[in-house]
Amino acid sequence: MTFQDRYPVALRLYPYRRSGDQDAATPVRHPVVIAGGGPTGLAAALDLGRKGHPVVVLDDHEGVGLGSRAICFSKRTLEIAHRLGPGPGLLEEGVIWQKGRVFRDRDEIYSFDLLPEEGHRYPAFINLSQVQFEKFLFEAIEHARAEGVEIEIRGGNRVDAIEATPDGTRIEVMTPEGAYNLEADWLIACDGARSPLRNMLGLGFKGRVFEDNFLIADVRMTADFPTERWFWFEPWFRSGDSALLHKQPDDIWRIDFQIGWDIDRDKELKEENILARVDAMLGEGVKYELVWSSIYTFQCRRMEKFRHGRVLFAGDSAHQVSPYGARGANSGVQDAENLAWKLDFVLRGLAPESFLDSYDAERIQAADENILNSTRSTDFLTPKSEISRTFRDAVLTLAARHSFARPLVNSGRLSVPCTYDGLPGFGPDMLGQPARSRPGAPAPDAPVDDRYLLDLLEGEFTLLGLGIEVPKETQVDGISVAGLALNDVSIGDMLRERYLGEASSAAYLIRPDQHVAARWREFDLDGVQMSVRNAVGKGDE
Amino acid sequence: MTLDLEPNLSDPDGFYEALLKAHEGLSDKESVELNARLVLVLANQIGDPATLAAAIEAAK
């Protein structure tokens, strides 16, 4: 097969360069190979590289694809990015927003405020183009490389075939200069919703396609619309059955129009037809420039399993959701974080290979939660029957008059990270409250002196002692658990409310991915040891 | 009892999904009939005539 771009490249960050592997007599073996250099692949590479594992990233393109695609990055993603480096830069570059308005025709029927809770380093969401997000991750990788971290991104390297071997995968790679082979102990497939790797393994991707098309356009304009998410049902300007307007940095605005199922795709993508819809929305005399556009359908589907022996699927290759919920790129980054520390433990011999099944279980639970929310939103946006539309319209009519109907209006439920309730590897919960920091939950941020709690969790297991002493370090079968004891002086109101509630003391075991593993009222060495073993898949030993 | 027009559903999205699911595969006539029965069942749950009268007004 010849070498051809599947999409235009916006930033040529990693042009093809010949690798020594291409001239090796026998295929060179790498501990970790990642297919795909999108948000998920780059986050996984950065995390694993920083943990000390050499990583090779194969991307069939030579940089970041054109178009904003994902624009909405959640607090949890920013917290992960903070641990990996680019968090502060993302926050500075992104547009912080918290307010959304929902209109029907000309009338505002509902508004929401994400009401950022005090005492978190990061806001609920920022808007930023995916191009910029990937660039920040790439720059963090470059930065890490300068400090000796072994991450190699090979642009213009397309995976053409894979073959499972007893202890890994043999990979056939095509480049502009021809094919070569390499081998991987572990292969992470972050190659997007159309995942060629998934197809190569003949694996299914089941779910629903919603019978509607959405025209998405990014325009550049200097406008004084507020930094809010504006959503219209049946908009007065008739550019679609629904429409969305949302601000990005650098005077770029994201616009979405719901344009129906039976459309002539090529016709709708003609510039004059896109401009006609945008003109109607923005009104006469507003100057703007069309930067990027595309048409997509809503799909909600996932693989049955994300782990296939030594091949692990993450991000859109494993699960796809409709937009309007900020659940795509954000869940991909959360997949990467969940996988990185687990694979690190397996590579270091601290956990059995079977531990990676917990990646499968936890991230499938997260994917199902995302698919559920996303499906409900899409069913509201795209009523699939007359009666669905009747109820939808009744909700919109009542919402304009009575507050009770407003929570039923669904123009997208914005993502929060999954709490891994009911899964093995967590517990015990000997504290019983507060609910938000129960085992399985992502540890809520809170101020500690002049810093934040999440800053103090440094990527290993942490035993957090609140109002009690905990050992500075505990060893459990070679796993190091860092102790972090905070006394009453350091425990502010917010930390108290989020972690202690009515209790006067607590000990929290927190995983490297900042999810709570277990909690107690007092320090209990036997309990901690048992919970650490349980948390790394050695609960039965 | 006064008519509560403030949000009161503990799981609005779950309720809405269940409602649509109940209508799945029904003809238009069957859907109208299901809705009628549902209104009567819910009315019985409310019971109080003044509240029911207020609900009818609110829905008009």
For B32, residues 6+ apart whose C-beta sits below 8 A from its C-beta are none
pLDDT band for A224, please (50, 70, 90 cuts). confident
Mean per-residue pLDDT over chain A, rounded: 95
pLDDT reported for residue A322: 84
What is the CATH class of A435-535?
Answer: alpha beta
pLDDT in tens, A497-524: 999 999 999 999 999 999 999 999 999 9
pLDDT at A3: 76
User: Across the interface, do B9 and A398 touch by the CB < 8 Å criterion?
Assistant: no
Mean pLDDT score, A111-130: 90
Asked if B12 and A402 come within 8 Å (Cβ–Cβ), the reply is no
Instruction: For residue A56, give both structure tokens.
Output: 């090779």
Asked if A380's CB is within 8 angstroms of B23's CB, the reply is: no
What's the DSSP call for residue A116? Answer: P
CB contact under 8 A, B20 and A379: yes
Q: Let me know if residue B33 belongs to a domain.
A: yes
In a mutational test of the A interface, the residue from B3, B8, B11, B16 whose CB has the highest number of chain A CBs within 10 Å is B16
pLDDT at A541: 59
Q: Is A115 exposed, middle or buried (0-12, 13-18, 19+ CB in 10 A)?
A: exposed
Task: Report the CATH number of the A9-70+78-84+128-204+302-354 domain.
Answer: 3.50.50.60
B9 CA: distance to closest CA in chain A (Å): 8
ipTM: 0.96
pLDDT tens for A387-396 read 999 999 999 9
Q: Where are the domains of chain A?
A: 9-70+78-84+128-204+302-354, 435-535
Q: Is the minimum CB–CB distance between B41 and chain A shorter than 8 Å?
A: no
CB pair distance less than 8 Å for A403 and B5:
yes
Q: Do A387 and B26 touch (CB under 8 A)?
A: yes
Contact: A408, B9; criterion CB under 8 Å: yes
Q: What is the pLDDT of residue A508?
A: 98
Residues A19-33, mean pLDDT to the nearest whole number: 97
Q: How far is CA A439 from CA A21, A366, A522, A530, in A?
A: 44, 15, 16, 14
Which residues of chain A are at the B interface, by a Cβ-Cβ cutoff of 8 Å? 373, 376, 379-380, 385-388, 391, 395, 398, 401-404, 406-408, 410, 413
pLDDT of residue A270: 95
Which one has a higher pLDDT value, A66 or A216?
A216
pLDDT at A494 over 60: yes
pLDDT of residue A116: 76
Residue of B nearest to A406 (CA): B7
The pLDDT tens digits for A144-185 are 999 999 999 999 999 999 999 989 999 999 999 999 999 999
Least confident of A111-115, A415-419, A424-428, A462-466: A111-115
Give the domain extent around B31. 26-60
Question: Does the pLDDT at position A1 exceed 60?
Answer: no
Q: Give the per-residue pLDDT at A8.
A: 87
Which band of pLDDT confidence, cut at 50, 70 and 90, is reported for residue A98?
confident
Hey, which bits of A227-288 come out as E strands?
229-233, 242-247, 252-258
B13 touches chain A (CB under 8 A): yes
Q: Do B16 and A391 touch (CB under 8 A)?
A: yes
**B interface test, pick of A368, A374, A387 with most B CB neighbours within 10 Å:** A387
pLDDT at A111: 87
Contacts B58 to A, Cβ<8 Å: 398, 401-402
pLDDT bin (cut points 50, 70, 90) of residue A2 is low
Average pLDDT over residues A428-445: 98
* Residue whose token pair is 């810093």: A451
Structural domains of chain B, count: 1
Does any CB of chain A come closer than 8 Å to the CB of residue B25?
A: no
Roughly what angle, to the nearest 10 degrees, separates helices A329-347 and A75-84? Answer: 40
CA dihedral of residues A63, A68, A72, A74 (deg, nearest 10): 0
Can you give the pLDDT at residue A200? Answer: 97
Are the beta carbons of B20 and A401 separated by less than 8 Å? no
Model confidence pLDDT, tens digit, residues A74-87: 999 999 999 999 99
* Angstrom distances, CA of residue B18 to CA of A379, A380, B13, B21: 12, 13, 9, 5
pLDDT value of residue A519? 98
Q: Does B28 touch chain A (CB under 8 A)?
A: yes
Note the pLDDT of residue B31. 97
For residue B51, being part of any structural domain is answered with yes
Span A202-231, mean pLDDT?
91
DSSP β-bridge partners for residue A110: A102
Q: Tell me if B40 is assigned to some domain.
A: yes
- B1, part of any domain: no
Half-sphere exposure of A521 (CA within 13 A, CB side): 7
- Out of B9, B19, B58, the one facing A407 most closely (by C-beta) is B9
Classify the phi-psi angles of A377: left when phi > 0, otherwise alpha if psi is within -120 to 50, otherwise beta: alpha
Model confidence at A536, pLDDT cuts 50, 70, 90, reads very high
pTM: 0.95
Q: What would the mean pLDDT of A195-204 be, rounded to a whole number?
A: 97
Residue B16 lies in a domain: no
